[in-house]
Amino acid sequence: MTDQRLSVSKLENEIVAETRLSMVDGEAGRLIIAGKSLDALAEESTYAETALRLARAARGRMEDPDPDDIETFDRRLGQARRDAFEHLGEQGTFSVLRLQDDPMDALKVAMSTLPVKDEHEATAALAMGVAAVAAAAWSRPDANLKALRPDPELSHPADYLRLVRGGEPTAQEVRALETYLMSVSDHGMNASTFTARVIASTESDLGSALVGAIGALKGPLHGGAPGPVLDMLDAIGSPDDAEEWIAERLAAGERIMGMGHRVYQVRDPRATAFESALSLLGQQPETQGRLELARAVEAEAERQLAEAYPDRSLQANVEFYTAVLLEAVGLPRDLFTPTFAVGRCAGWSAHVLEQGIHGRLIRPKATYVG
């Protein structure tokens, strides 16, 4: 027996596809989603527009959608939430969802019920509805699981918040969540997107690709970090204690959640977008306090990581301010990663379509050393 470690490729810097869906410039800290920069999205777009852009870009259509098309797509998403509610009810899925300890497992259950043979656009819209309805249904606190009926008149972020919390959200809360969902709708060839494309490359169905993608996103190195970021902020408690807390964790060889990124060598631009969105909600004293603590912890973590790893640039990633933003709009901690999936559904579905149009079976090789 030998315990010699095997070399496993991380496919780092390997180009595995051309895509029209998003561009991540890790050195400049720039993100473009379906032809529009993150700054422009955060300033003037909606989730419906971004999802429509992604669906069109997968078919090679990069022109700006006109307002009527965006409105039609927004209504389609509303109808998809309604359809998802009926569909999950008919399948008896709601009661199975609640049996799952982990909401990401609940999402996998829900996605696995998607129809296999319907045309892609219809299933992709239904999948976005299923993600929002299933995540919200899982979190409903009462044991009888009284999942609320979606309101197709509301925007996707507004209805999602209503389905989770039960009351009408404020315009500022909706805009903050809208910024979040748009910003995470796609992000290059990340692990869950690659998983979805690998599954799509076998000509399997969209539901299977989404189940796989959700499984990949669940991991703490991908989408599972925002809950732990809040745990960390809770444990630190006050800006004055950040230095000691972080030093102890680093000395123990632990990773600081929400810091570092495989692609970005600078601060993740999504962290910046969320920080600005949070300033909209900043009038609430709890949000203000959280934001101040988060900024202090980020600065301290960045300083100590720079000392510990002078050759790397370990700065705040998307998860850091995700935690603060999603808490500020009133989402419970265990819904943070599922909410990421709600936003990313648009990108995953578009990648599955793009892979289907242009791709071929993805089948790398391994060197046998046994």
Instruction: Using the minimum distance from each CB to ligand COA, give the nearer residue, 65 or 258.
Output: 258
Compare residues 142 and 311 and give the one whose CB is closer to ligand COA.
311
Residue 177 or 257 having the CB closest to ligand COA = 257
What is the distance, to the nearest Å, from the Cα of residue 52 to the centroid of all Cα atoms in its chain?
A: 17
Q: Is there binding between residue 196 and ligand COA (CB under 6 A)?
A: no
State how far the Cα of 25 lies from the Cα of 84, in Å rounded to an integer: 36
Size of the site for ligand COA (CB under 6 A): 17
Q: Which stretch binds ligand COA (CB under 6 A): 113-121, 146-154, 260-268, 338-346?
A: 260-268
CA gyration radius, the chain: 20
Contact 233/258 with Cβ under 8 angstroms?
no
Report whether 51 contacts 99 (CB < 8 A): no
Spatial contact of 246 and 256, defined as CB atoms under 8 Å apart: yes
Segment lying near ligand COA (by CB under 6 A), choices 66-74, 79-87, 259-267, 343-351:
259-267
Q: Which of 178, 298, 300, 319 binds ligand COA (CB under 6 A)?
A: 319
Catalytic annotation, residues: 261, 319
- Number of Cβ within a 10 Å radius of residue 32: 18
Check residue 256 for interaction with ligand COA (CB under 6 A): yes
Least distance CB 347 / ligand COA (angstroms): 15
Closer of 27 and 121 to ligand COA (Cβ): 27
Residue 43 identity: E
- Residues numbered 215 to 254 that lie near ligand COA (CB under 6 A) are 221, 225
The verdict on 317 binding ligand COA (CB under 6 A) reads: yes
61 token code pair: 């259509």
Residue 37: strand pairing partners = 32
Rounded CA gap, 23 and 16, in Å? 14
Q: How far is the CB of 337 from ligand COA (least distance, A)?
A: 10
Query: Minimum CB separation from ligand COA for residue 293, in Å?
Result: 17
Residue 180 CB, nearest distance to ligand COA (Å)? 14
In degrees, rounded to 5, the angle at the alpha carbon of residue 321 between the alpha carbons of residues 317 and 324 is: 150
Establish if 314 lies at the interface with ligand COA (CB under 6 A). Answer: yes
Residue linked to tokens 């999942």: 147
| 255 contributes a contact to ligand COA by CB under 6 A | yes
Amino acid making up residue 238: S
- The label of the residue with tokens 């999504």 reads 270
Choices 88-96, 208-216, 289-297, 315-323; region in contact with ligand COA by CB under 6 A: 315-323
Nearest approach, Cβ of residue 260 and ligand COA (Å):
2
> Nearest-CB residue to ligand COA?
260
Q: How far apart (Å, rounded) are the C-alpha atoms in residues 293 and 320?
A: 12
Q: Listing from the earlier edge strand, what are the strands of the sheet with 36-37?
A: 22-25, 30-33, 36-37
344 binds ligand COA (CB under 6 A): no
Contact stretch for ligand COA (CB under 6 A) within 21-29, 125-133, 310-318, 346-354? 310-318
**In whole angstroms, what is the distance from residue 199 CA to residue 177 CA?**
30
Site of interaction with ligand COA (CB under 6 A): 221, 225, 255-262, 305, 309, 312, 314, 317-319
